[in-house]
Every structure is written in structure tokens, then in C-alpha cells.
Amino acid sequence: MKLAAAVILYKPEEIGMDTVKTNIQSYASYSDIIYVVDNSPEETMSNREIASTIEKCVYIYNGNKGGIAGAQNKACQQAIKDGYEWLMTMDQDAIFEAESPSYLLNKTKVYIDFGNHPGMDRIPREARMQGCVVITGKIEAANYFEDVPIEEQFERKTKNIKPISELIKSVFLDYEYWDKKQSDYTTFIKGQRDRFSEDVRIIFW
């Protein structure tokens, strides 16, 4: 899953440039790209520097056209143009607390992802490591057991809603059973680092 993020700036100097940078850096590792949409009345070099000093950031000046909705639409349009299907929007004063995505997943019993799977996506694997029962569709890599080794009953086509809802209910009624059913997936994820190192060794040595 490719995830884009967007942060809307508006007179960031009022809360402090360093604070805004720290806030953005708190979720930078969870997104593939960050659109820094400047909604301030005037475009300034200091605002541009917020984006230029943080990896993955792309600066877009909007000049408060359409208010915050206009800025968010600008980010959505750019994300679609760049091929992203998911966009997380953030205010300039919003911050991810340490390990917050992992914390949320740890409090969740089911993770559902019917989006594209161009490869072994990070979020489903992280969800499983936090104890979530993972349910995916059959798009791209999710259709191959070698990439997403989940038993067949977990992979539902989105057009058939009834079995999906029944499966979710079943997970909540007997979480321990379904969690155990995906224990092999957990083992697979834990062994990825060693398998990668072995593949590199075979190729280059």
C-alpha cells in the first residue's frame, strides 16, 4: 500500500518553524511522500525551507485558495496524479506520538486491506505483528501465497460483502482461534530478514 501524506501550513511561524518540522518528521517514516501545502497568504522562503529540509517532502503553494478544503483538494489532486490511492491529511500542529500507529494496531483485532498490493506491503505485515487478523483481497501480490501467505478463507473479493462481515463477526467472537490460524504468517514475517540476507549472499557471494 502506497501512502501519501499532506500537511497544511498556515502562518507556521506563529507556532514555530522547528515545532512544525518536528511534527512532520514524527510521521515521515509512515508515508512514501509528504505534500507540504502552504495555505499562508504570502509565499515565503522560510515556509519552503520546511519542505526542503525534510526528506520525502514536496512543497505546493496554494495561497489559501478555497480555505483548508482547497488545500486538501490540491493535495488530493497531486496524490492521484502521482499514483497514490491513500492520503493521510495532517494539520501543522498535529504530531504522531512515539509508536502511535503500532499502538493503534495493537488495540485492533482485525486489519482489512482490499487495496492494491504491488509487493509485500509494510502495513499488513506490521498489523499482523501487532496481533491483528489480516484480511485482504486478491489484487496483485495479495493473490500470491509466496508474497502474502494467508490462508484462502482470509482473502475475500470485495464484491461479496456477506462472507466478509461474517468473517469479521467470527473474529470478534473467537479471536484466539483466528489469531492462531495466522500464526504461520507471523512466523513468515519474523523470518524475512534472515531470508533476505540469505538471498543476498546467494546472489553476490
DSSP structure string for 165-195 = HHHHHHHHHSHHHHHHHTHHHHHHHHTHHHH
Q: Which of 118, 135, 132, 159 is nearest to 3 (CA)?
A: 118
Chain position carrying cell 461474517: 166
Q: Residue 47 — very low, low, confident or very high, per pLDDT cuts 50/70/90?
A: very high
**What single-letter amino acid sits at 58?**
V
Residue 145 is classified by DSSP as T
pLDDT (0 to 100) of residue 56:
92
CA 19/CA 1 separation, integer angstroms: 29
Sign of CA dihedral 97, 28, 88, 95: positive
pLDDT, average across residues 33-40: 95
118-128 burial code (b ≥16 CB/10 A, e <16)? eebbebbbbbb
Strand pairing category for 3-9 and 86-91: parallel
Q: Residue 102 — very low, low, confident or very high, per pLDDT cuts 50/70/90?
A: low
Task: Please check the confidence at residue 197 and state whether its pLDDT lies above 80.
Answer: no
How do residues 119-167 score in pLDDT, each as one tens digit? 777 788 888 888 889 888 777 777 777 777 777 555 555 566 777 778 8
pLDDT (0 to 100) of residue 165:
79
Q: Residue 9 — very low, low, confident or very high, per pLDDT cuts 50/70/90?
A: very high
User: Percent of the chain beyond pLDDT 90?
Assistant: 35
Q: Taking the C-alpha atoms of 92, 96, 97 and 101 in order, what is their torsion angle to the nearest 10 degrees?
A: 170
Q: Residue 49 — very low, low, confident or very high, per pLDDT cuts 50/70/90?
A: very high
